[in-house]
Chain A
Amino acid sequence: MNRYTVAVLVRNQYGVLNRVTSMFRRRQFNISALTVSQTEVPELSSITVLFDGEELNKEQLINQLYKLPDVTSIKELKSENSISRELLLIKVANSAETREEIRAAADAFDAKTVDYTRDAIILQMTGESQRIDSFINLLRDFGILEICRTGIVSLERGDVTISKETNI
């Protein structure tokens, strides 16, 4: 099984996210993360899909997306020529014994303290998904109280853009 990142431009219309996710559900695509955001053009929204499967499944996913009238562009983003980031908020238990170690871990991963109380610390971190996974693993022993992550957003390197490249 491989992990693929697919960027999709869609018409910014009522129900469009539902159309995309409904297709994923009924065709049983294994989506591990999905983000939706506005773009530089008000009529378009950007959806980034993180998808686990085989090459053939990915082809099928792209072909099925292609059939939705609200989809205007689709592009697979490969890790070697694109930048992917995710934001993590993580709440860990705060105690006199663990405080120092949590701080050291946060420093090592460039995480920022965004909330601090006697019993809990909220750390914020951005990075690639794998780095976020490692950070979470590192904090596990200190008692994770809650996690929230955004799912990835992704852009290609250089001056290529999805709307310029693959209008369908």
Chain B
Amino acid sequence: MKLTGSDILVKTLIEQGCDVVFGYPGGQILNVYDSLYKYSDEIRHVLSAHEQGAAHAADGYARATGRPGVVMATSGPGATNLVTGIATAMLDSVPMVAITGNVSSAVIGSDSFQEIDITGVTLPITKHNYFVGSVEDLADTVREAFTIATSGRPGPVLIDIPKDVQTAKCEYKKGGKYKQYEKFAAKDIRIREAAEFINLSKRPYIYVGGGVISSDASEEALALADLIDAPIGCSLMGISAVPTDHPRFLGMQGMHGRYASSIAFSEADCIIALGGRFNDRVTGNREKFVKNKSIIHIDIDGSELSKNVPDSVGLRGDLKLTLDKLLKLLKAKKLPAWRSRIKELKKEEEALTFDKKTLNPHSAIDVLNGFLSENTPVATDVGQHQMWAAQDLKFKTKRRFISSGGLGTMGFGMGAAIGASVGTGERAVLITGDGSFGMNLNELATAVTYKIPLVVLIMNNGVLGMVRQWQTLFFDRHYSNTTLGRKTDFTALARAFGADGEKVSTLPGLRKALKTAFSHEGPYVIDCAIGMDEMVFPMVPPGGSLDNLIVRRGE
């Protein structure tokens, strides 16, 4: 049967297993929206307040479900508004398919109204992108886009479709759901080399990155830890890959990581990195970090091996398959000295505990933990609140921590939380700051319209806290443009959007508000007052090494 390009697009999306599209209509994608109308029984569309929010929602959907998120926007400004969302997905390896309309092929390149070269703009921030030149290519392009977005190291793919391709007709034949490229384990010789290093090590440490979540290798990572008697730490992206309360788990390491994990990470004689990229936020000073240790690095993306730190053995391959093979070559270990050192570090960490009686960032998250079910997705924005959340949130299930790690996108959380809730059908939580929330709070409108069960916890300190912290520590307290001094009343704002909320300034107040929020229909905004001089500790100062943590103020 002959169908129009826009019908083919929507039918192909359905065929690829896409059940929801996040987006915003406009002139050059009107035909596609007409097809969405036609097929609305089979595919749902969630209208955002701004295209950026839609892109983050598709991202949050993908992170929470593991299925590719789909976002749609019109040409020109619609397309450019996706850019931050696409870049966020790229830096965190999130599978996403972004679809943009464009002006007709005949006028492409003539600076028409709302024309932008979006494939050019997104070239460095997509895994791949397409400009569809003819309707005959459309269905296969969409299928290939899903394959590329989800295969190997996942990432965003953009498809730009000019208007004439949306209206042109051609034969459509239903195809199958996308297939990922075949997974493969690392080469046997590399696995043998890695096993030799690990068998010799006295102080092994397992560094879990986001790859453990995307390749579904949590069990293998835990089996490895048990076999070789090693502690486990993670990067921001690795949070929720293993249960927080697992006895071997020390938490996030790095610039604002937990005390025990950061020290153990730097004292280890063998780091086994699973799907992480040794980002500067993870390693601190790299030259100091690599001294006296071997590095075994497994990643599906070969370009990560020896990119940031020189590997002793670099293994390119799927984590799950590679670990399966590696586990068979390893000798079971008992490392009492290393284990007692870890115990000692954990004890030292306990001494750094927070005040559980007053309302502060740590006690707030501690209270919130009590309300989370094992399926609750928790999104964050970027800044101090994000680090507190990363340090203190407790997870049992993977894919439940949704945070912009690589790009560090303030304003990510609102859209992402909506997408995560839509994808999982669960009540989602957004932990944000007053600065980050200010960036994309317009998506409250979306959450209200779609009755998204969403708990928004704003850690409101009236300042851009993370930047202020740096100004305090490294810029002689020159608080340049970080004291907001805004008069925004977030509860009134929530009501204005059709949501509800309240202000809290005590711990019992917060507990009560959360109780209301977690049984509220639709979004509920909690404006939680915290001190403007709260800081995130531990902290590795810029250029510093992980064994030289600042653990509290004034050190």
Contact = CB atoms under 8 A, between A and B. Distances in A.
Interface of A: 14-15, 18-19, 22-23, 26, 56, 59-60, 63-64, 66-70
Contacts of A26: 124
Given A14-B133, A15-B119, A69 B148 contact: yes
B131 interface: yes
22 contacts: A15-B119, A18-B120, A18-B123, A19-B123, A22-B123, A22-B124, A23-B124, A26-B124, A56-B306, A56-B310, A59-B306, A60-B303, A60-B307, A63-B301, A63-B302, A63-B305, A64-B303, A67-B127, A67-B301, A67-B303, A68-B128, A69-B128
Given A23-B124, A60-B306, 8 more contacts: A18-B123, A56-B310, A63-B305, A64-B303, A66-B302, A67-B301, A67-B303, A69-B148
Contacts of A64: 303
Contacts, number: 32
A64 B303 CA distance: 6
A14 B137 CA distance: 14
* Interface range for B: 10 to 19
Contacts of B120: 18
Contacts of B302: 63, 66
B303 A14 contact: no
Interface in B174-219: none
Interface string B123-144: 1100110010100000000000
A48 B426 CA distance: 52
Interface string B105-119: 000000000000001
A127 B52 CA distance: 54
A64 B307 CA distance: 11
Contacts of B127: 67, 69
A74 B126 CA distance: 21
A62 to B, nearest CB: 9
Contact of A63 (B119, B131, B303, B310): B303
Contacts of A63: 301-303, 305
A63 B127 CA distance: 14
B142 to A, nearest CB: 14
A14 B148 contact: no
Interface string B298-327: 000111011100100000000000000000
B310 to A, nearest CB: 8
Contacts of B303: 60, 63-64, 66-67
Nearest to B157: A69
Query: Which 6 interchain pairs have the tightest Cβ spacing?
Result: A63-B303, A63-B302, A69-B128, A26-B124, A22-B123, A64-B303
Contacts of A18: 120, 123
